[in-house]
Structure 1
Amino acid sequence: MINRLLLLKNYDKFSLLVLLLSAFPILPYVFRSILLITLAVLTIIHVFKTSDNTGNFNKTLLITILPFLILMLSLSYTEDINKGIQRLIQMMAFFVLPFVFYFNRHLITLKLIDWSLNIFAVSVVALVLYQCVYCLYFNEIIFSEPSQLELKNLNLLNSNNLNENAINQIKLRRFRKFVTEITDTHTTYQGIWIIFTIAVLFKNILKRKSAVLKSLSVFFSIILITWLFIISARGPLIGLILASIASFILYKKGQINLKIITGLLISLILVFSLGYKAIPGFKLKVDEVLNTKLELPTSGNDIYNFNSTNVRYGIYYCSIEVIKKNVFLGVGIGDLQKELNSCFHNTIGAKVYFWRDFNTHNQFLFFFASAGILGVISFIFSIFASIYFAITWKDSLFLFFILSVLIVFLTENVLSRSDGVIFYSFFNSLMLFKTAFKINDSN
């Protein structure tokens, strides 16, 4: 009887903290940190007070946290230890959340998972609606013609290159900067939150019986997809398309035929085409990728010729150069940015790389350059372990989550910021360790 009361008491604390953390898209960074620390402390107390029988789950936990442990080992040969420690602290949720959910897996219930997903979805919808209202109120500032200062900063003040595309480019940068500043969240992270919210809403459409809830889910899904195109989050959009196809096939396993696949592909292509035609900013981003040659940004005065695509070419070029010189161990997590900057400044020399630091913009390159071949292999293995479990358990939502994030990993260091590392570690751990009581959800 006493043990049951203790379990109930621990469940109440744990579930409350988890549900509060589920709203992290709208929580201040300091509040997120307090919740993480509290969960970690309570988990440590729980581990010391109970003789937890870990069983076969030990391997899963080790696979999940191994990439972080290897990054920690890289501190032993990095020169800038302070920088390395700072980076590891920023990524701490990558270790803490798997630890928390694993040792509290006996408290994870379907109800808790469902509430966590819905609280997260409501938070993301609220964040998007807030931005929509804010942007409508300040629309004259956001969409006004380029100022003299903006033209001067891009060397376009007396240029013949001031055409419609150049003007749209300035407006898009201004808009993305504006929404990033009012939310303190980069559009890419908003993008991955949005596509997972769309998946959660779609799940509600399939499972809920209430016509009102179904209608609201459809309505907010349309708003989220529209906003996704407006902020021109290309990586998340690609993730939405590819992960949707894969998770749909898993969901309808045994019922898929060529007609269904063709219909799904046509629907996705039509949505993509509509966004391309109707939203100038998204069209601009797509055209940028199609028109930019595989050339690095120049080191001359024609700084207006840089764009996010050729800047990324330079980033990937330097990341690979760093890896080629340090294949086995990497340069250490504390020295990575210094090595990248050295290549940016001394090898490429384009002015854009002097304005701020650029990371590898690829999570796999980050682990490879920081911790060598062991670092990247452990990271890849942890991802494919989650994919394996999602397919084995026929959990289409888990599969959608891991595949969509995997695609964004190819173009962003998702785990380098609180917005990304909490998102990935929270939901990956929650859905991975929910099977302690064999809580599998085929939807």
Structure 2
Amino acid sequence: MISLNKIKTYEYITALVAAFPLLGQKGSVYVIIIWSIYSLFIAIKLKSFRPDRKDIIDILILSSLYLAYTISYFFATDKHEVGKLLERALPFLLFPIFMIINKYLINEKTRMLTMRVFSFSCIVLCLYVWTVIFSQGIEKVFKSDDYYNPVIRNIFSDTTGMHLPYLGMLFVFAALLFLYDLLSVKGKSFIFYIIRLLSIVFLLFSVAAFMARMALFIFVIVGIFFCLKKIRSAKQLIGIGIIGIIIVGSVLMLPSSQRRINESLSAKYELPHAGQSSEEVNFRYGVYHCVKEILSEYWLTGVGVDNVQKKLDECYSSYTYRNSDDYMHTTYNSHNQYFDIMLKYGIVGLILFVISLLWGVKTKDTVYQGFLIVIFIALLSENVFSRQAGIVFFTFFNTLFFVTTRRHKKGLE
């Protein structure tokens, strides 16, 4: 038998992993290592390291992308490149293995604590960034912010150490968790609702300030989904209306938001070429053109894990646009995770990848459903699994929700 204190410790360490936005890249790596070692220790103590057939299938499906990378390593020409990918993608293997073999210790209480730690860490991180902005003079920061000197975006990125589309995704998911609380919990005090409402507004205002457009779109879509599922009273409807006004007002009034909207509206669908200034270049259009060119030839088999960027760079070299941010000076990936998988493994690889994402989709758990919508939309505009923040966010919460949902379904709570 294992003591109650050790079980509690496991619960707290699991929740601590969810503080990865605040811990930063190095801090989250250390915590995941500690969590993995303790998970193994718990599994040995409970003798739960022999998963049944269903558990093995679940582990294989949830970690299938990592297994695909492992197989690719043996066929790759550039093994160093694939090796780096394997190191970065290790959470795809660790979380499914250890959460599933310790599934009897991961319950609804663990899940609730974990979501609160994540939401709180996002709020603290956001507060810290605004402290930096105020220390530099908020009026000065907003006045000096322009296309060639996006001060606000740079402060958020440099202070958090995170690529802004990923930061926006994390902040928006935290805001969605607060929204779910507002819509679900009954009989709480007025202060309870005000704190959550202010938290949502604060996070969304911040996302609007550094204008992660897809993140705001995700909030609208999943927010509507939550409302259709949970809204029951006029008070809730008023709260949602306030949030909607704040989003629209922030997007329309903040200079950084206005600039990004204007960029989108004025974007020309033409390939990058000489004579264009930086703000005239539609970089994504250039990227997607090359993706299309490569897939037109390799749609069935892909080009291999270690050849994707090489093939893209070969295509980019035909563009005559030259500047410090051109395709020769900056590495531009496919900016779409589905494209990235298809470039690596072809159409069959893409189908298997989508199946792995949908493995827990039959759940009736509204939060899990909302999380999957967040991921499916986010993958459309970013290679979410090319950076540690995206990998940890997806693998940790996807496995946590999957395990707790299966426990509930089997009546194990």
Task: State the TM-score, normalized to the length of structure 2.
Answer: 0.88
Asked whether the equivalents of residues 109 and 434 of structure 1 are also in contact (C-alpha less than 8 Å), the reply is: yes
Superposed CA offset, 1:121-159 (max 9, x none): 1110011111112112213663454xxxxxxxxxxxxxx
Asked whether the equivalents of residues 105 and 436 of structure 1 are also in contact (C-alpha less than 8 Å), the reply is: no
Asked whether the equivalents of residues 205 and 247 of structure 2 are also in contact (C-alpha less than 8 Å), the reply is: no
| Alpha-carbon distance between aligned partners in 2 of 1:228 and 1:439, rounded to the nearest angstrom | 36
Residue in 1 that maps onto 2:366 = 396
Residue in 2 that maps onto 1:213 = 192
**Structure 2 alignment gaps of length 5 or more:** none
Deviates more, 1:265-274 or 1:396-405: 265-274
Residue in 2 that maps onto 1:292 = 267
Residue in 1 that maps onto 2:162 = 185
| 1:179 shift after superposition | 1.8
| 1:306 shift after superposition | 3.9
Residue in 2 that maps onto 1:152 = none
The 1:13–1:334 alpha-carbon spacing in structure 2 relative to 1, beyond 3 Å, is farther
Residue 283 (1) aligns with residue 283 (2): no
Asked whether the equivalents of residues 71 and 370 of structure 1 are also in contact (C-alpha less than 8 Å), the reply is: no
Residue in 2 that maps onto 1:312 = 284
Residue in 2 that maps onto 1:357 = 331
The 1:305–1:134 alpha-carbon spacing in structure 2 relative to 1, beyond 3 Å, is closer
Structure of higher RCO (CA pairs closer than 8 Å, 6+ residues apart)? 1
Superposed CA offset, 1:285-336 (max 9, x none): 22222221211221x14333445xx101111122232333332332222222
Residue in 1 that maps onto 2:86 = 88
Residue in 2 that maps onto 1:169 = 147
Identity %: 22
| Alpha-carbon distance between aligned partners in 2 of 1:182 and 1:381, rounded to the nearest angstrom | 36
Partner of residue 335 from structure 1, selected from 295, 298, 307: 307
CA-based RMSD of the aligned residues comes to 2.9
Within 5 Å, give how 1:241-256 maps onto structure 2.
241-251=220-230
| 1:76 shift after superposition | 3.2
Residue in 2 that maps onto 1:41 = 37
Hey, which bits of structure 1, 4+ residues long, moved more than 6 A? 262-269
The 1:28–1:225 alpha-carbon spacing in structure 2 relative to 1, beyond 3 Å, is closer
Residue 422 (1) aligns with residue 396 (2): no
| Alpha-carbon distance between aligned partners in 1 of 2:51 and 2:93, rounded to the nearest angstrom | 20
Within 5 Å, give how 1:70-219 maps onto structure 2.
70-139=68-137, 142-145=141-144, 168-171=146-149, 173-205=150-182, 206-207=184-185, 209-219=188-198
Superposed CA offset, 1:179-199 (max 9, x none): 211211122111111111112
Within 5 Å, give how 1:57-72 maps onto structure 2.
57-72=55-70
| 1:349 shift after superposition | 5.4
Superposed CA offset, 1:26-80 (max 9, x none): 1132222222223333444555644645353443332221122123222233221
| Alpha-carbon distance between aligned partners in 1 of 2:106 and 2:193, rounded to the nearest angstrom | 26
Q: Which amino acid aligns with 1:290?
A: L
What is the SS of the residue equivalent to 1:221?
A: helix
| 1:225 shift after superposition | 1.4
Partner of residue 295 from structure 2, selected from 323, 336, 341: 323
